[in-house]
Structure 1
């Protein structure tokens, strides 16, 4: 079965190009997407025919993109027509951008490039008039990204890389990180196709670092690309960690639901768990069909057919492979179509249908021969394109020289006109300057007042944080003192009492009833000493102070295993260096309380504990198979609220995912001050 899983993995990774990441602005991430669509449709029917109608139509197009691309194109086309009637240049650029993204989803790459070029023609004059506008820079970066995605899907990787770098250049020195995350993800995927994995992972990791410690929907494609790459490198633990990071981003509500479940299915295949891989791949195929992505759907059906064949379900395998072949035929994906035909031939051969198998094998070989010829033609076309590009560059240089001469003449005429206008407008300018100066002073006064109020709020927050840190530090110091007093003081006294009782029993013979009572007293005293030491260790584990967070959590998990009540599985990753003492203590207390809650309330049989450090982030995941609880209790329960407050004081975030009888997953994410980044892979 492991060999079969590896065959499926290799087939799946040939479709790496299907995970295209484009920019579709205003895309909502709400779980109530259908209600948002209904609300936008009602608003579009009643809103006046102005720029607000254009914006509403664009929002509706983005909301429909994940489920109905045909209606999404209609809404974008309506926004384009209205923008052209109003002369609304920004609306025209945005509408063309929306259409390019929708064409990319439908694999109409030539139309996508044409729409993106029209969007750029509308947006570039706007940026020249307002070069400092962050909104226009984000728009042009999105357009360049979509041009790169179209070139990427057509195999023009050099052009795609140039467009992506141009998109990143638009976003320099701006706060527009959402599009930048998409650009970094696409750059990583392009370098992966260029067989440069180091460059690819560098850009994916840069996307993760740029996104910051809080989960962001724009990071979902980067997590999925990294997970697929780790599976290719046969590092399933790292791939599963990245899939766990993607899970809180609700991938099923995004455009990448198919890719998420497809990668999850490949992970289960790698782990030799076909019973879990099959439903994940089925779900991925459903999302691919819903999104209108026949190429990825065909590859998923191919994987499902291979899996059915390995399970001995020949009839179902043939049905799935034929469906995959039917989807591939109009796409002209010769390589994948040949692979499906070969798989059908093997199935026919295994059932004794040798004539049918021979027919499939011949068709497969014919496609492979035509693919080799097409490769040669593609190389010739690339050389011809390079030659034409050089010719066009020379013609463009000549046109630019002519344009420069015309502009020089225009500038001279404009200077004369400006001189005449300047003499007539001196008085008006003086009045305007006076009014502007007055407004400027008022604005400065308001800004100074706002800055003072902001500074006061910041000082109050810092004071509250210092007070909370002092309370926590005092609690930990008090724990250490009490643990030390119990262990050294009361523990020593009890040991001395035990010694005296032992001396009494050996030196002074007692009647048999008294001897038996004395023995029971010594046994109870031993139990009291052991309980005292356990309480002292819980108050302040020695391993946490001496050996660090990883060893302290290891000791605590070992203690839980010895109770026999719970099966504990622990995974540690990237914790080779010690963390700051306050951070180690806070993380240990949170993990200790979460595990105690599992023992007390979850009625679980198994718990998975993961401590993972990736560069400047620390992730703690505790997942059990217990009875679960209502996640809304996280905002009302005192214990859960205190845990979340402690996580926020450490600069991180603690989230809970749970359903009744489906277990609970608690995820703690917080930044770690480092001098060097830990490796991301296992």
Structure 2
């Protein structure tokens, strides 16, 4: 568990509470007229003021020891309060000398150690109240039922305060972390947009002019291959510019995985067409990518294709992945050695509660459609 708050606001509010409580202590000491041991009261005020000043200006490194000392100071103030006031004063409604200062220690523990820390500090401080009563010459065995309830209620108020502050600090820190992540995401998006604009204004325009110039030269297959390579680089740059920021943990971009897969198949041009990044659970995206890899390998080995189209589109609650080639095709119902791979493809897709459809005819290529419901991560 972290010892330091990520957001400074709660601990600053606790510090403000300390100074207000210390000011109340000074006011009560000067105007109440109830303090019967002024020397002890002056020492307590001086020690509390020095402690508060040190907490304000010091760079606290060992937070655990500081908070333990803070709770000890709060306990001491409870006991000193009973000692410097007239006997049985704690059973009256006179203004409290210590005021809310002990509560600041409980609140600080709640800020740093959250709900459990705040409740634990409040419980420890609550257990100090019988000692404060004893210092005020109050016989605990002679307390009435209502007086006992009052003492217990005072202790429970510390516990409630610590728990409330701890829960609030945890929520504030969660909001702070979320705002930080959103800010970082916005900064990455802004930087990405700047790079995209630069690519569009400079690199893509230059590549487009170069490709057009090469095609106008009519230099034969070699130059055509160079122009085709430039076109693929243009497509890759445009995909880079349209990519979204990194998905959350446990989720990957299907578009990114398929784009990486397509780069491995240089023998046959593969055109990837998607309607977005398609963030999916890691297992599901891995299974789909593996199925597509087997299909592309099958095309390279058996289809004699010149072009392959890989399309990923949403279809209601499903994702449709289509691999289509312009190869030799095969008669309906024929199961060649290459198309035997469809069994392993179907096995992967069926694990995700999906379906596979194959359409082909001789001389007109082959189309394989994978349909997978979103969210079925069985990988």
The structure with more helix, counted as a fraction of residues: 1
Q: Which has the higher strand share?
A: 2
TM-score with structure 2 length normalisation? 0.31
TM-score by length of 1: 0.18
Instruction: With a CA cutoff of 8 Å and minimum separation of 6, indicate the structure with the bigger relative contact order.
Output: 2
